[in-house]
Amino acid sequence: MIAQPDSLAPQLETLSPVRRRVRFTIAAQHVDAAFRSVVTKLAQTVRVPGFRPGKVPPQVVERQYLADVRNRVLDKLLRDHVFTAIEQTGAKSISAPEIDSISELAKATALEVAAQFEVMAELVLTGYAGAALQCPDIVLDSSDVAAELAQRQKTRTEMVGTDGPAQSGDEVVITYDLTTVGSDTPYQSVQARKTSLDGVGVPAPVLQAFVGKLAGEVVDTTVTLPPEGSDSMLDSQVRVIGSLEEITRSVVPVLDDELAIDLGYSDLAALTAEVQAGLAKQVEQANFKAREMAAITHLVAVNEVPVPQSMVDRHVDNQLRDLVQRLGDVGKQMQGFLRNYRQQLMAEARTQLQRSLAVDALADAHQVAISDDDLQAELERVVSENAKQAAAARRHYSTTAGQSELKFGLRNRKAVQVLIDQAQWTTSQTLTLQQWQARDRQEQEAADSGDEGEPAEHVHGPDCDHDHGHDHDHHHDAAALASSGS
C-alpha cells in the first residue's frame, strides 16, 4: 500500500507555464519503516558467513550492505511518496519527475524532497476573431479536368510493335559490341538488352546510335563516350556495332466513348462528370487546407503556446521508433545517424505540437462536441474517400482506439472550421488545382530537404502525443528518481 505524506501539505511552485516544482516532507516514521522493510527483505536473500540463509540479523545486513540498503530505501521512499505528493497538489504531471534536492537520508529523520515535473500549459487564445488574413483561392479549371482525363487515358496505354524508325521514348531490344577505336577486340558485349531509348543503364550516345533505325537494321558507327572513372580515357572514341532487334511504342487510346466504356462508364460524358465531381471535392479540400494553414500559423504567431520538452521528446522518439521499425535491420545499423537526426527533428516537432495544442485549446474554448451521428458521418466520409480499403477502415474505426482517433480528428477539424469562419479573408492569388498541387509539392520537398521556412505539414492527430492526463508507470519513474537523487 502506498504511504501518504504526513505533516504539512506538499507545496507547489510555478516555474514556467509548463514546469512545476513540488516540495514535500516524508515523515521520520515512514523513513524508519522503509529501512525495516528493505532490510527484512534483503535478509531473506543475502548470504553472510556464519549465518544460515534467511537468518542473518537485520543489523548485520545493514552494516555489510549499507550502500545497497540506502539505495533501496531511497528508491522505495520516492516510489511511494513523490507521485502521491504531486497528486495532492492537484497538478497533472505529464513527465517523470526530476529530483531537485533531497536531504540527508537517516533513520528517525524526516526526508525533505523537491522535484520538478512538466504539465500542460493552460492556453487562453486571442487575436483570431476578425483577424485579417490572406490566402490563395483554388479554383477548378478546364486544364485540371483535361489533365485528369489524360491520366485516365494513360491507364489504358499499350505497348505495340512498330515498323517505323525508332524514336525517343520507344522501348527497344538491342544487341551491340563496344570496341575502342584502333582495336579489334570488343571490351563490352551486350546481348538482347531491353531498354528505353530515353532510359538508363546504357550510355546515352550508344542509345542515340539506334535512333532512326528500323527493326532488323544493323548499326556500325563511332560515338564519343564520357569518362567513367579515374582509369578510363577522356572523351573515348568508341565503335558501336550492333543490331536493333525489336521496337515497341506506347499508344495512348483516343479519349472517346469507347475508352469511357472500357473504364467502366456509360460514355465520355459520364466519365467527364465523375472526374469533375472528384476534382471539385479536391478543390474544396485544398481551399480548406490553405486556409487552415494560414489560420493556424496566425493563431500560433499571436499567442504564446508553450510545449513541454517531454512532449517534444516523446513525439520525436515515436517518429524515430516507427522509422527504425520500417527500416528493419538497416534501421538498427543507422542508430548513430538517427541520434543526430533526432536533433534536427526537434524544432519541427515543437512547431507541429504548438499548432496541435493551439487547435485543441480552441476546441475546448468553443466547446466543440462530437455526437455519435457525427462520428458515423465521419466514418462514411473516410470510407468513401478510400473505397479500396473500405473494409479495413471500418474494422479499424470500430475499435476503441479507432473511435478515439476518428473523434479526435473530427473535433480538431471542426475547431479549425471555427477558426476559419472567424477570420476576415482576402484572396492573395487565384490558382488552378494543378498549380496549387505543384506548389504544395515544392513546399513539401523543401521541408523534407531541411530548407528554412514554414513546415509544409502540421499535426492534428492522435500521434501528436496529446495526453493531458498521462498515466505514468510509477515503478519505472520511481527507479529513475532514486537514481537521480542518491
- pLDDT tens, residue by residue, 272-293: 999 999 999 999 999 999 999 9
Q: Are 271 and 337 part of one and the same domain?
A: yes
Which one of 196, 218, 251 terminates a domain? Answer: 251
Instruction: Check residue 58 and give its pLDDT.
Output: 73
Q: Are 406 and 299 part of one and the same domain?
A: yes
Which one of 251, 282, 304 terminates a domain? Answer: 251
Q: Residue 185 falls within a domain, yes or no?
A: yes
Query: Quick check: 469 and 92 in contact, CB under 8 A?
Result: yes
Instruction: Check residue 126 and give its pLDDT.
Output: 96
Three-state DSSP class for 22?
A: strand
Q: Residue 257 falls within a domain, yes or no?
A: no
Q: What is the CATH number of the domain that holds 202?
A: 3.10.50.30
Q: Are 166 and 112 part of one and the same domain?
A: no
Degrees, nearest 5: CA angle 119-120-123:
140
Q: Are 300 and 436 part of one and the same domain?
A: yes
Paired with 196 in beta bridges are 171
Q: Are 411 and 371 part of one and the same domain?
A: yes
Cell of 309: 520538452
Q: What is the CATH number of the domain that holds 20?
A: 3.30.70.1050
Q: Are 361 and 268 part of one and the same domain?
A: yes
Degrees, nearest 5: CA angle 14-17-19:
55
In eight-state DSSP terms, residue 110 is -
For 270-274, the CB contacts below 8 A with 24+ separation are: 271/149, 271/152, 272/145, 272/149
Chain mean pLDDT for the chain: 86
Binned at pLDDT 50, 70 and 90, residue 390 comes out as confident
Q: Are 101 and 203 part of one and the same domain?
A: no
Where is pLDDT greater, at 128 or 458?
128
Instruction: Check residue 173 and give its pLDDT.
Output: 96
Instruction: Check residue 328 and give its pLDDT.
Output: 80
Instruction: Check residue 477 and give its pLDDT.
Output: 40
* Torsional sign, CA 181, 187, 191, 194: negative
For residue 83, how many other CB atoms are within 10 A of its CB? 21
For residue 486, how many other CB atoms are within 10 A of its CB? 16
Predicted confidence (pLDDT) at residue 55 exceeds the cutoff of 90: no
Q: Please compute the mean of the pLDDT values over residues 394-403 and round it to a whole number.
A: 91
Comparing CA positions, the residue from 113, 110, 111, 79 lying closest to residue 96 is: 79
Degrees, nearest 5: CA angle 439-445-449:
145
Question: Which of 265-274, 369-378, 441-450 bottoms out in mean pLDDT, i.e. has the lowest?
Answer: 441-450
Q: Residue 3 falls within a domain, yes or no?
A: no
Entry field: residues in the chain: 486
Q: Are 323 and 454 part of one and the same domain?
A: yes
Q: How many domains does the chain have?
A: 3
Instruction: Check residue 459 and give its pLDDT.
Output: 35
Q: Residue 378 falls within a domain, yes or no?
A: yes
- pLDDT tens, residue by residue, 134-189: 999 999 999 999 999 999 999 999 999 999 999 999 999 999 999 988 888 999 99
Range of the domain at 338: 132-147+263-464
- pLDDT tens, residue by residue, 182-241: 888 999 999 999 999 988 889 999 999 999 999 999 999 999 987 654 444 456 889 999
Which one of 204, 228, 251 terminates a domain? Answer: 251
- pLDDT tens, residue by residue, 334-382: 777 777 788 888 989 999 999 999 999 999 999 999 999 999 999 998 8
Binned at pLDDT 50, 70 and 90, residue 472 comes out as very low
Q: Are 238 and 91 part of one and the same domain?
A: no
Q: Are 46 and 167 part of one and the same domain?
A: no
| 102 Cβ contact partners less than 8 Å away, ≥ 6 residues apart | 74, 111, 112, 113, 114, 485
Predicted confidence (pLDDT) at residue 3 exceeds the cutoff of 60: no
Q: Are 418 and 269 part of one and the same domain?
A: yes
Instruction: Check residue 460 and give its pLDDT.
Output: 36
Whole-angstrom distance, CA of residue 78 vs CA of residue 467: 24
Q: Are 59 and 164 part of one and the same domain?
A: no
Where is pLDDT greater, at 484 or 31?
31
Q: Residue 2 falls within a domain, yes or no?
A: no
Whole-angstrom distance, CA of residue 233 vs CA of residue 379: 64
Q: What is the CATH number of the domain that holds 436?
A: 1.10.3120.10
Query: Quick check: 97 and 116 in contact, CB under 8 A?
Result: yes
Whole-angstrom distance, CA of residue 296 vs CA of residue 287: 14
- pLDDT tens, residue by residue, 319-342: 888 888 888 877 667 777 777 788
Q: Which amino acid is present at 268? A: L
Q: At what angle do helices 400-422 and 390-397 cross, to 10 degrees?
A: 100
Query: Quick check: 226 and 149 in contact, CB under 8 A?
Result: no
- pLDDT tens, residue by residue, 250-260: 999 999 999 99
Q: Please compute the mean of the pLDDT values over residues 419-429 and round it to a whole number.
A: 96
Widest CA span in the chain: 103
Q: Residue 5 falls within a domain, yes or no?
A: no
For residue 41, how many other CB atoms are within 10 A of its CB? 12
